[in-house]
A and B are shown apart, each in its own frame.
Chain A
Amino acid sequence: MGAGPGLRLVPSDGPGDVDGLLVRVSRGDRAAFEELYDTLSSSVYGLARRVVRDPTRAEDVTQEVFLEVWRKASRFDAGRGKAKTWVMTIAHRRAVDAVRRSESQRRQDHHGAPDDVSFDEPGDRVIRAEEHGAVRECLETLTDLQLESVRLAYFNGYTYGEVATLLDRPLPTIKTRMRDGLIRLRDCLEGAR
């Protein structure tokens, strides 16, 4: 890609990049897989850590995710979305599975209550500041109930039934708030581009 020898660009994950890499990965191209790993590992690991909350287990989840990406690369359908979304969807599913497997432990650790959601953990983040800033700003356009529903599901791994119980709201309300919240996030992020 654009970088000269010995020079590594911060992964730009422009739309073409990851998609092209994944196509090469599907043909067994290990160099492309390494590049894909370097481009997406911080996103996958960061999400896994956020959801499973334990760095060691987040590593296991990340490993499972990339193995699945390698194995199933040929099943990626570019007509259905971006490669990065495909990978992050696998990552989320794996992370949530891990959390649900050790539900009792999580309940113990967190007393069944949602954590404060912090968007500003400093330190080792390799981030593309503008994009992440846009996510944060767009999340602020959600109503409290939309935001709470989306966060509890996405970052804590709760089912919408569990979210309804936690927030003491009827099931259909949570179901629609979750959808409305994501739609609002989608629309706002589209506008931000």
Chain B
Amino acid sequence: MSTDVHTLSGAYAVDALDPREAAEFEEHLEQCHACREEVAELQHAAALMGAAEAAAAPAALRSRVLDEVERAPQLPPRVASLPSDPVTVPGSVVPLRRRLPARGLLAAAAAVVALAIGGVLVSDTMRDDGVPLAGGVVQVFEADDARSVTVDTSNGGKVRVALSAAEGQMAVDTAQLPDLGPRQVYQLWTVVGDIAQPAGVLDDPKTGASMGLPAEGTKVAITIEPMGGSERPTSAPIVTVDPADV
């Protein structure tokens, strides 16, 4: 991007930059109000050009899409910073299976419930709207009492995990996971014994996630799942972290 970076707005608006240039230009967009505005307008013009190609979609597609959405959780709204209490996010409640271990660990059950109700706050770094990584993940990594560890995953990536008792939070930095393409996602699970509960879907390898501190005996695992995530793991975890080891 030697000459005039602003003139890339047109190519960016029609997705004609290679991934490296697009990422660089997105960084520029963070700083440049004029380019943000121009990109929005040019994307609007491009969208009208695209919409002029309208063709009726096959009827069967409608029910496929609606079926899939029926099973897919939604990302919670982006929040400026993570409250210490779980946030109730309508539409993103992860169903809790009534099979919690009868180990009398009320705390464990409570934590899983809290997680199930609150969902995981997923913050993707400046994908769509240019807002930098939301407070949650950063806050945990930067907490005074933070303990963190970097772990290799079986698919050749790394994840950083941080715990902060003061924040009551655990955060996962997934920026160093390999890109999965558009058909698969990384999904987070809390695992007690051999029971895995869905804890959140990561849309993007740049994404980080934070969640309430898992109770003692709860591990956190990441698997690769089909787009939209699964109700239970369909593949072996690429990594399992015991918070006790962090």
- Residues in A with CB closer than 8 Å to B65 are 37, 41, 62-63, 66-67
- Residues in A with CB closer than 8 Å to B34 are none
B102 interface contact, C-beta 8 A: no
Q: Are A41 and B62 in contact (CB under 8 A)?
A: yes
Q: Are A67 and B17 in contact (CB under 8 A)?
A: no
Interface of A is mostly: helix
Contact (A126, B54) CB under 8 Å given A71-B74, A186-B41: yes
Contact (A153, B11) CB under 8 Å given A41-B62, A159-B18: yes
Which residues of chain A (169-193) have a CB below 8 Å from chain B? Answer: 172, 175-176, 178-183, 185-186, 189
Complex CA–CA separation, A47 to B46 (angstroms):
11
Q: Are B13 and A182 in contact (CB under 8 A)?
A: yes
Question: How many residue-residue contacts, CB under 8 A, span A and B?
Answer: 222
Q: Are A75 and B128 in contact (CB under 8 A)?
A: yes
Q: Can you list, as one digit per residue, whether each of B74-88 has a CB less than 8 Å from chain A (1) or not (0)?
A: 111110000000000
Contact (A67, B68) CB under 8 Å given A59-B61, A77-B129: yes
Q: Are A34 and B66 in contact (CB under 8 A)?
A: yes
Q: Are B74 and A125 in contact (CB under 8 A)?
A: no
Out of A42, A70, A84, A124, name the residue touching B69 (CB < 8 Å). Answer: A70
Rounded to whole Å, the gap between the CB of B105 and the closest CB of chain A is 31
Q: Can you list 22 A-B pairs with a CB-CB distance of less than 8 A?
A: A26-B77, A28-B90, A28-B92, A34-B66, A37-B62, A37-B65, A37-B66, A44-B57, A59-B64, A63-B65, A63-B68, A75-B128, A82-B44, A85-B44, A89-B46, A135-B49, A154-B14, A158-B16, A159-B17, A159-B18, A186-B44, A189-B45
B228 interface contact, C-beta 8 A: yes
- Residues in B with CB closer than 8 Å to A84 are 47, 51
Contact (A49, B16) CB under 8 Å given A67-B227, A70-B69, A179-B10: no
Q: Are B45 and A42 in contact (CB under 8 A)?
A: no
Which residue of A has the minimal Cβ distance to B201? Answer: A71
A91 interface contact, C-beta 8 A: yes
A22 interface contact, C-beta 8 A: no
Number of chain B residues close to chain A: CB under 8 A: 61
Complex CA–CA separation, A84 to B51 (angstroms):
9
Q: Are B181 and A101 in contact (CB under 8 A)?
A: yes
Number of chain A residues close to chain B: CB under 8 A: 81
B108 interface contact, C-beta 8 A: no
Q: Are B75 and A74 in contact (CB under 8 A)?
A: yes
Q: Can you list, as one digit per residue, whether each of A74-118 has a CB less than 8 Å from chain B (1) or not (0)?
A: 111100111011101101111011100100000000000000000
Complex CA–CA separation, A125 to B68 (angstroms):
26
Q: Are A26 and B74 in contact (CB under 8 A)?
A: yes
B8 interface contact, C-beta 8 A: yes
Which residue of B has the minimal Cβ distance to A98? Answer: B182
Complex CA–CA separation, A76 to B17 (angstroms):
23
Rounded to whole Å, the gap between the CB of B39 and the closest CB of chain A is 9
Complex CA–CA separation, A42 to B3 (angstroms):
40
Out of A42, A172, A178, name the residue touching B55 (CB < 8 Å). Answer: A42
Which residue of A has the minimal Cβ distance to B8? Answer: A175
- Residues in B with CB closer than 8 Å to A125 are 54-56
